[in-house]
Amino acid sequence: MPDPAPASLDPEDWDAFAATAHRMVDTAIRHTRGLRDRPLWREMPAATRRLFAAPLPLVPTPLATVCDDVRDHILAYPLGNAHPRYWMWFMGASNLTGAIGDFLAAVNASNLHGGNHAARLVDDQVVRWLAEIAGFPATAAGTLVSGGSVANLIGHAVARHAFAAARGIDLRQDGVVALAPRPRVYCSAQAHGCHQKAAEVLGLGNVSLRRIPTGPDLAMDMDALGTAIAEDRRAGWAPATVVATAGTVNSGAIDPLPGIAELCRREGLWFHVDGCIGALAALAPRHRHLVAGIEAADSLALDPHKWLHAPFELGCALVRDGTALLRTFSLTPEYLKGATRGIAAGTAHHLCDLGLQTTRGFRALKLWMSLREHGANHFGALIDRNIDQARLLACRLEAAGVEVHRPVGLNIVCFRHRVPGLDAAAMQQFNREVMIGLQEEGLAAVSDTVLDGRHYLRAAIANHRTADADIDLFVDAFLRAARRRALSPAG
């Protein structure tokens, strides 16, 4: 006799499921509401680590037990980026409305490769909103992706395709072996590592990426860029793309965007802007001038999961000429043919024609809901406040005798405690121990980096929950920790 058919994944008892689900919503709200009252981070105990070392579960566990484990072993030990004093890596702090959007997107169960349904229209609308923020024209197109690394990869791919097409090369048919002369891509020495990965993945190789020196402000040196382009032309390279950074990850430096845009027009180069750190400052009334020039880009990468605080993951690649994006990625096999009526009807192209993914989640809903609830102006005011707070932190630290790397770029402050008599290696160790000690206390989180060959701690303030009082609390705690470290035998 055959085994009975297995049950579906729907609840056997809908009322019991609803009760458990409502309890977890209450837990999530309490968790978020109480962020400031709990340690930012804490080390996981052995029992929690054992739970995540367990083998594959073969038999059912009651949902209530699973949810209790989420509460006690996952929510209790976060990375900490939702906390108001998390300034370690440049991350958004999420928001509850966006979390509801992620849940509803999952319930909607839409695979957004295309189709004639509401989720597709939401996706299109969110991309148009982001293009409007960036100052792109109505001819622009874009695609929502996991984050900045993939958004930059999309920009590089479109730039490479445009470079080939201008030389009569069918890149999609013949591949990179047909590229001659070899294209050269320029970026700042402070550019994000994802650009090297993009060059490698796209078959150009790291050798194609020329890093341009930066000036004292850690922004790309325009004279050095012009010299490099001229040298490469003489050496047989084909200058193809300039990648400008609107907010470097190390220091928040902004490359001279208007000047680079003009150079690219003059030299016939593709102008790509990595705006994953700073492009959304275009929303900030008092600081949008800092990123003037992003509107001139041929392509732009930005990250709504940073300063728009969408729950991870959400990035966006925008291309000024939407047809260039389609020419790079559009592919319509027989199983994706459109129709004039029904589910396959709708727009002239599927969303999978704008990027790499055929299977795509409904990423747009969480941002659509948050922007509608709060309005873009509110996000702009929050960005203004974060930039002000970075300058406040720099002033407070300098007033206390802490060295601050100047200029302060956008919302990132790099600083170090100078200790008389310590060499560079010992001072780096001293500052790192202070930094890690504050993390282990759960009080605040900053990271560290190297600028001009010197080690600094780094605070990237991009949290909508950060208050000015948190700046003072951090400075006091940092100074106390530094004094303790200086007085300890191990210091």
Distances (CA, A) of 74 to 53, 66, 67, 243, 434: 14, 11, 10, 39, 27
Question: Looking at residue 349, what is its pLDDT?
Answer: 80
Regarding whether 257 and 135 lie in a shared domain, the answer is yes
DSSP 20-84: HHHHHHHHHHHHHHTGGGS-S--PPPHHHHHHTT-----S---HHHHHHHIIIIITTS---TTST
Q: What percent of the chain has pLDDT over 70?
A: 98
Question: Looking at residue 491, what is its pLDDT?
Answer: 52
327-379 pLDDT, tens per residue?
A: 999 887 777 777 778 877 777 788 888 999 888 888 999 999 999 999 999 99
More confident position, 488 or 366: 366
More confident position, 193 or 488: 193
Q: What percent of the chain has pLDDT over 90?
A: 81
Domain assignment present for residue 82? The answer is no
Regarding whether 329 and 428 lie in a shared domain, the answer is no
91-136 pLDDT, tens per residue?
A: 888 998 999 999 988 887 777 777 788 888 999 999 999 999 999 9
Regarding whether 210 and 301 lie in a shared domain, the answer is yes
Per-position b or e across 375-392, b if 16+ CB within 10 A of its CB: eeeebbbbbbbbbbbbeb
Domain boundary among 374, 407, 432: 374
Question: Looking at residue 334, what is its pLDDT?
Answer: 72
More confident position, 44 or 489: 44
Asked if residue 11 has pLDDT above 70, the reply is yes
Distances (CA, A) of 420 to 399, 423, 424, 427: 18, 9, 11, 9
Regarding whether 343 and 468 lie in a shared domain, the answer is no
Regarding whether 400 and 357 lie in a shared domain, the answer is no
SS3 state at 229: helix
Domain boundary among 374, 399, 430: 374
Mean pLDDT of 224-233: 98
Regarding whether 350 and 214 lie in a shared domain, the answer is yes
Look at the chain and report how many structural domains it folds into: 2
Domain assignment present for residue 147? The answer is yes
Q: Determine the structural domain holding residue 274 and report its residue range.
A: 103-374
CATH for 240: 3.40.640.10
Domain assignment present for residue 5? The answer is no
Compute the residue count for the chain.
491
179-222 pLDDT, tens per residue?
A: 989 999 999 999 999 999 999 999 999 999 999 999 999 999 99
Give the closest residue to 145 by CA, choosing from 129, 126, 166.
126
Domain assignment present for residue 483? The answer is yes
Regarding whether 451 and 315 lie in a shared domain, the answer is no
Domain assignment present for residue 163? The answer is yes
171: which DSSP letter?
Answer: H
CATH for 425: 3.90.1150.170
Backbone angles phi, psi at 435, to 5 degrees: -60, -50
Domain assignment present for residue 185? The answer is yes
**Using 50, 70 and 90 to split pLDDT, how confident is the model at 3?**
low
8 Å CB contact between 346 and 121: no
Regarding whether 107 and 142 lie in a shared domain, the answer is yes
Domain assignment present for residue 44? The answer is no
Domain assignment present for residue 425? The answer is yes
Q: Quickly count: other Cβ atoms within 10 Å of residue 15's Cβ.
A: 8
